[in-house]
Amino acid sequence: MKKRDRAVFIRNFLENLYPVTPIPLNHKNVYELLISVLLSAQCTDERVNKVTPKLFKLANSASKMQNINLKKIYEIIRPCGLAPKKSRAIKSLSKILVEKYKGIIPKDIELLEQLPGVGHKTASVVISQGFGIPAFPVDTHIHRLAQRWGLTNGKNVKQTEKDLKKIFPVESWNRLHLQIIFYGREF
């Protein structure tokens, strides 16, 4: 089976298996999504969803978060791991968002990647799930499955993302990204 045929088969299979693709991280606005995705690095979505209600009750916007004591942020997010680095990133990016963007999350991957603690995958998730702009965030699940399915021989997530973007139609990226993650977690 050719790579293009495999891609069509996989997309149809995942569409049947996961016709509904809810965003696994609970959030009420794009700022909360950004912080949740940042916290999900090296942590499960389940744990992030247990931690964030307390954090977002305290501050659910950049303007509020920038005023929260760093130690308090750290105490709340500690169960997510890497808390010293993540708490500093949350405090710093909140301040930058207020000062540079009037508290509004930029709709540009490159601008998001300039924020502390925000890498390409985090920026891609925010762009795709927060704003509905086509992106194909690639995490470990997607990278491994794409290799296993013969859709890429990329040695890193950057190459895998590039390969997947070539083979799947742009209008499917946001949804397919979640479907592959769901599949990877389930199987």
Calculate helix-pair angle for 3-17, 157-167, nearest 10 degrees: 90
Q: What share of the chain is helix, strand, coil (3-state, %, to 5)?
A: 70, 0, 30
Q: Which of 121, 158, 163, 165 is catalytic?
A: 121
- List the Cα angle 156/46/151 in 5-degree steps: 25
Please state the φ and ψ torsions of residue 140, each to the nearest 5 degrees: -60, -40
How many Å from the N-terminal Cα to the C-terminal Cα in the chain?
Answer: 22
121 is catalytic: yes
Whether residue 62 contacts residue 52, with contact meaning beta carbons closer than 8 Å, is answered with no
Find where tokens 């300039």 sit.
114
Q: Which of 139, 155, 163, 166 is catalytic?
A: 139
- Nearest CA among 81, 184, 88 for reference residue 137: 184
Is 50 noted as a catalytic residue in this protein? no
Residue 187's closest CA among 145, 137, 149, 146?
145
Q: Which amino acid is at 44?
A: T
DSSP E strand boundaries for the chain: none
Residues assigned a catalytic role:
121, 139
